[in-house]
Amino acid sequence: MSTQSRRHLLTGGSALLLGACSRPAPAQAEAALAGLKQLAPFPLGVAAMTGQLGDPQFVDLLVRNFSQLTPEWEMKMEAILKADGDFDFARADALADFAANHSLRLHGHTLIWYAETPVAFERLSGSGQAFADAYRTYILRVAGRYRGRVVGWDVVNEAINEDGEGERDCLWSRNLGPDYAALAFGYAREADPDAPLFLNDYFLETMPNKRRSFLRLAERLLKSGAPLSGVATQTHVSIHIKPGSIKAAIRDLASLGLPLHLSELDVSTRNAEAIAGALDMASLADRLAHQARVVEEAAEAFAALPAHQQYAFTLWGLRDKDSWLRRPPNAGDGSDRPLLFDDAGRPKPAARALLDTLAR
């Protein structure tokens, strides 16, 4: 799309957006961002769950504004692998079918996650070859089922320790050793020879030491010959993040030369005292303005990448009420507003900031 056509869309879209912020009718607000995905020179993604697909407003907002879908939960091991070792693909298939029916790219999330401790694998813990065989079988079954339907996979999710120092001890490392990640990438490539395969983690923007550990793991995988083909930074951040932090992280991660996925963006508006123990008297309007600046920085950093490194820019939810930060155990007082659209589906200043940045 030419610069002129982007500006044309922005001229109409921005005017509607400004008006929609003061109007109560969600339908008008939805129309305001109808051209968002058309403005993006790279895939614009959003996370969704099957329970949201029966909500017409959710579906309309998603289809109008996004070109890629990430299953928030349905492709995780806990959703697929039953206690007896059998596989249940019903929910994952429903999201895959939805994506196909609405011409959306589908990003697979996630094959191996440290937090998963399924009964079927715990039963095999310590069994040696039986555990290793089950590990390979699981990845082959899941990645193979969606071969040709997903455009990429988060193969290993959140492998770095919470404090950023080294790699996590988990069910997978205890049974397969430190090479469990390399094995996962190898099996994923065996199942799907074409999909880009990602290493995904969080707090890479706010914890430089964690970012360094993440990069060391990525470099080790590459040196070992593992088919790592991309890196992903979740970008779960807050309005209190230091300006420039996201740009610094994107710059460091891009130094590997691999495609990059900004994979799970949300920007918490919670009071600073909930994060840093300090009193924060900022108004909601101020919080939303700070949120817009954070989204703008993230979009600017991603847009500055070479085109071959722009895998996708993904939001972790659509409306504030859809966010994982509004569900137990993360809900707090229920006042967080971390996403682009408010509870009624109206675009917020962060949505305008993304719109403006995409149109530059």
Which of 158, 167, 205, 297 does the annotation list as catalytic?
A: 158
Q: Residue 13: inside a domain, yes or no?
A: no
Q: What DSSP character marks residue 179? A: T
Q: Residue 5: inside a domain, yes or no?
A: no
- Supply the pLDDT for residue 2: 36
Tens-digit pLDDT profile for residues 328-347: 999 988 999 999 999 999 99
Q: Residue 11: inside a domain, yes or no?
A: no
Q: Residue 132: inside a domain, yes or no?
A: yes
Q: Residue 30: inside a domain, yes or no?
A: no
Question: Residue 14 pLDDT > 50, yes or no?
Answer: no
User: How would residue 360 be classed by pLDDT, with cut points 50, 70 and 90?
Assistant: confident
Task: Tell me what the mean pLDDT of segment 266-276 comes to.
Answer: 72
User: How would residue 273 be classed by pLDDT, with cut points 50, 70 and 90?
Assistant: very low
Q: Residue 335: inside a domain, yes or no?
A: yes
According to DSSP, the residues that pair with 47 across neighbouring strands are 70
Tens-digit pLDDT profile for residues 28-85: 443 445 578 989 999 999 999 999 999 999 999 999 999 999 999 999 999 999 999 9
Strands 44-48 and 68-71: parallel
Question: Residue 107 pLDDT > 70, yes or no?
Answer: yes
Spatial separation of the C-alpha atoms in residues 277 and 226, rounded to whole Å: 42
Indicate if 158 belongs to the active site: yes
Averaged confidence pLDDT in the chain: 90
Q: Residue 53: inside a domain, yes or no?
A: yes
Task: Tell me what the mean pLDDT of segment 133-151 comes to.
Answer: 98
- Supply the pLDDT for residue 282: 82
Count of domains observed in the chain: 1
Phi, psi of 23 (to 5 degrees): -105, 145
Torsion sign, CA atoms 171, 174, 178, 179: negative
Spatial separation of the C-alpha atoms in residues 354 and 10, rounded to whole Å: 11
- Supply the pLDDT for residue 272: 55
Which CATH number belongs to the domain containing residue 351 in this structure? 3.20.20.80
| 277 vs 269, residue with greater confidence | 269
pTM, entire model: 0.90
Contact 89, 80 (CB under 8 A): yes
Kindly give the residue spans of alpha helices, DSSP state H, lying in the chain: 3-20, 26-32, 36-39, 56-65, 77-80, 90-101, 119-122, 129-145, 171-176, 180-191, 208-224, 245-254, 273-276, 284-303, 349-358
> Cβ contacts of residue 167 below 8 Å, gap of 6+?
159, 160, 161, 173, 178, 213, 217
User: How would residue 311 be classed by pLDDT, with cut points 50, 70 and 90?
Assistant: very high
Q: What DSSP character marks residue 322? A: G
Tens-digit pLDDT profile for residues 214-267: 999 999 999 999 999 999 999 999 999 999 999 999 999 999 999 999 999 999
Which position has the token pair 């959140």?
158
- Supply the pLDDT for residue 130: 98
Spatial separation of the C-alpha atoms in residues 334 and 138, rounded to whole Å: 37
Q: Residue 245: inside a domain, yes or no?
A: yes
Domain limits at 254?
A: 39-358
Phi, psi of 282 (to 5 degrees): -65, 140
243 burial via Cβ count (<10 Å: 0-12, 13-18, 19+): exposed
The helices-and-strands tally (H runs, E runs) of the chain is 15, 9
Which of 167, 205, 264, 297 does the annotation list as catalytic?
A: 264
- Supply the pLDDT for residue 33: 55
198 burial via Cβ count (<10 Å: 0-12, 13-18, 19+): buried
Tens-digit pLDDT profile for residues 192-222: 999 999 999 999 999 999 999 999 999 999 9
Q: Which two tokens stand for residue 259?
A: 């495609």
Per cent of the chain over pLDDT 90 is 84
Tens-digit pLDDT profile for residues 174-185: 999 999 999 999
Question: Residue 10 pLDDT > 50, yes or no?
Answer: no
User: How would residue 280 be classed by pLDDT, with cut points 50, 70 and 90?
Assistant: low
